[in-house]
Amino acid sequence: MKMMTPNTEADLAQIIASAQGPLHLFGGGTRPIGAPAAGEALSLSALSGIVAYEPGALTMVARAGTPVAEIEAALAAEGQRLAFEPMDHRGLLGTAGTPTIGGVVAANVSGPRRVAVGACRDFLLGVRFVDGTGRVLKNGGRVMKNVTGYDLVKLLAGSYGTLGVLSELSLKVLPAPETVTTLTLHGVDASGALEAMTRAITSPFEVSGAAYLPGDAPRALLRIEGFAGSVGYRVERLKTLLADLGEITQTDTPEQSAAIWQAVRDVDTLADCPTVWRVSMTPGAMVKGLLPALGDDPGPYQLDWAGGLCWLGGDAGAADMHARLQALVADRAVNGGGGGHATLVKGDAALRAAVPVFQPEPAPVAALTRGLREKFDPKGILNPGLMG
């Protein structure tokens, strides 16, 4: 495939300013989420490199095409990390290539720790981007507290390149913990897991991950991170708190823990499913509303975010299931008034072209969304149609 690959932000702006038709944006090309986008391929991979990193201020500035691995390595060298734990989509989506930080931000990708510390968008301090007319714009900055003007930083996060092409990002980072361990509660069903995850996450004993894997050996997983003394203390308190719910075991090493949570993060359990949805609802609505509504066998799934996130696997070309799922999520009788959304993260191109990949929005919200797109991309050339 012929691909334009600008080396500088100025070149990027020039390409967009002079574009005659749609552009299809790529970071590392590892996350083909959304309706199949047409257009000339534009890669951001050459806009790469860490621009500034100040460990004492917990901030990093990097160009959008910088590989996530490069950023994580630089942070690890100073005992720090991206706390929102971005998922690597390659296993689930069967893609190759190099995940980039721009791709992470464009899709607002977070992992299991999101439930405790916030999403990618919560750690994004500033952006530089090129809008659909070729203007280079900036918003936010590289300090942790900033309310100067409108927060376009959050608007750009998760906009999949449809409002502007990210060129540079400023991130808040956090210290990596001294140690980590995982408690596993065995033999629980979804309701039991919800009870365990809720007790844990509403306790003062700070868990940084709460997930549920059903199947032949159903189990709830709780992650505890921090200084060794503190982790030891919290583990004991949590064991006591959950003792009546089933058998609890603990990992022996931090490496075991890391492997467990990487698998949860990357949704390894659903890697073989041709179709995968990602559903966000309140934990209560997910377990008491959505899962029962899907029938006796909801199919393969896993819960994360203490039950607030469900990954659901389906058959190839499951358009009916897709429609049903988005209708259920929007139904107040199912979502309990807390709202939610279901996104088709994985599916063949025909399915992604045929259905609304993202949860359809109520008319007033859709009108605002449309209005914003017209302002940021008046020519309609940035990943047009990708988000519907």
Partner 1 sequence: MDMPAPNPAIMGLKDRLVARLLAVLPTDAVIHDEAETRAYECDALTAYKCPPLAAVLPATTEDVSEVLRICHEMGVPVVPRGSGTSLAGGALPTADSVILGVARMTDVLETDYVNRVIRVQTGRTNLSVTGAVEEDGFFYAPDPSSQLACAIAGNIAMNSGGAHCLKYGVTTNNLLGVTMVTMDGTVVEIGGAHMDAGGLDLLGLVCGSEGQLGVVTEATLRILPKPEGARPVLMGYDSNEVAGQVVSDIIKAGVLPVAIEFMDRPCIRATEAFAKAGYPDCEALLIVEVEGSDAEIDEQLGLITQIARKHNPVELRESTSAEESARIWLGRKSAFGAMGQINDYMCLDGTIPVSQLPYVLRRIGEMSKDYGLDVGNVFHAGDGNMHPLILFDANKPGDLERCEAFGADILRLCVEVGGCLTGEHGVGIEKRDLMVDQFAPHDLDIQMAVKDVFDPKWLLNPAKVFPLAASAARRAA
| Residues numbered 238-297 forming contacts with partner 1, rule: CB under 8 A | 280-285
Residue 295 or residue 364: which is nearer to partner 1 going by CB?
364
- 234 CA to centre of own chain: 27
Residue 119 or residue 264: which is nearer to partner 1 going by CB?
119
Q: Which amino acid is at 90?
A: R
List the strands of the sheet with 179-186, edge to edge: 248-250, 179-186, 219-226, 209-213, 301-304, 309-314, 275-280, 341-346
Q: Are 109 and 79 in contact (CB under 8 A)?
A: no
Binding of partner 1 by 179 (CB under 8 A): no
Binding of partner 1 by 165 (CB under 8 A): no
Residues 6+ apart with CB under 8 A from 337: none
Residues 123-142 interacting with partner 1 (rule: CB under 8 A): 131, 135-139, 141-142
Binding of partner 1 by 310 (CB under 8 A): no
Residue 243 or residue 365: which is nearer to partner 1 going by CB?
365
Q: Which amino acid is at 277?
A: W
Binding of partner 1 by 324 (CB under 8 A): no
- Give the Cα separation of 224 and 238 in Å (integer): 10
Residue that is written with structure tokens 């012929």 in the block = 2
- Give the Cα separation of 328 and 317 in Å (integer): 19
Tokens matching residue 240: 């006591």
| The binder of partner 1 chosen from 212, 277, 305, 311 (CB under 8 A) | 305
Closest approach, Cβ 209 to partner 1, in A, equals 14
Binding of partner 1 by 78 (CB under 8 A): yes
Closest approach, Cβ 270 to partner 1, in A, equals 19
Binding of partner 1 by 365 (CB under 8 A): yes
Closest approach, Cβ 177 to partner 1, in A, equals 7
Binding of partner 1 by 338 (CB under 8 A): yes
Q: At what angle do helices 228-242 and 190-201 cross, to 10 degrees?
A: 130
- Give the Cα separation of 180 and 252 in Å (integer): 10
Residue 50 or residue 372: which is nearer to partner 1 going by CB?
372
Binding of partner 1 by 359 (CB under 8 A): yes
What's the DSSP call for residue 307? G
Binding of partner 1 by 159 (CB under 8 A): yes
Residue 294 or residue 387: which is nearer to partner 1 going by CB?
387
Residue 204 or residue 295: which is nearer to partner 1 going by CB?
204
Q: Which amino acid is at 271?
A: A
Binding of partner 1 by 178 (CB under 8 A): yes
Q: Are 328 and 320 in contact (CB under 8 A)?
A: no
Binding of partner 1 by 115 (CB under 8 A): yes
Q: Tell me the window of 8-16, 31-39, 174-182, 268-276 that interacts with partner 1 (CB under 8 A).
A: 174-182
Binding of partner 1 by 339 (CB under 8 A): yes
Kind of pairing, strands 40-43 and 23-26?
parallel
Residues 1-40 interacting with partner 1 (rule: CB under 8 A): none
| The binder of partner 1 chosen from 56, 216, 244, 295 (CB under 8 A) | 56
List the strands of the sheet with 165-172, edge to edge: 50-54, 59-63, 165-172, 124-130, 136-140
Residue 87 or residue 98: which is nearer to partner 1 going by CB?
87
Q: Computed over its alpha carbons, how large is the radius of gyration of the chain?
A: 21
Rounded alpha-carbon distances, angstroms, from residue 193 to 185, 212, 246, 287, 335: 8, 6, 10, 9, 19
Binding of partner 1 by 76 (CB under 8 A): no
Binding of partner 1 by 309 (CB under 8 A): yes
Binding of partner 1 by 340 (CB under 8 A): yes
Closest approach, Cβ 133 to partner 1, in A, equals 10
Q: Are 104 and 120 in contact (CB under 8 A)?
A: yes
Q: Tell me the window of 90-98, 179-187, 242-250, 365-373 that interacts with partner 1 (CB under 8 A).
A: 365-373
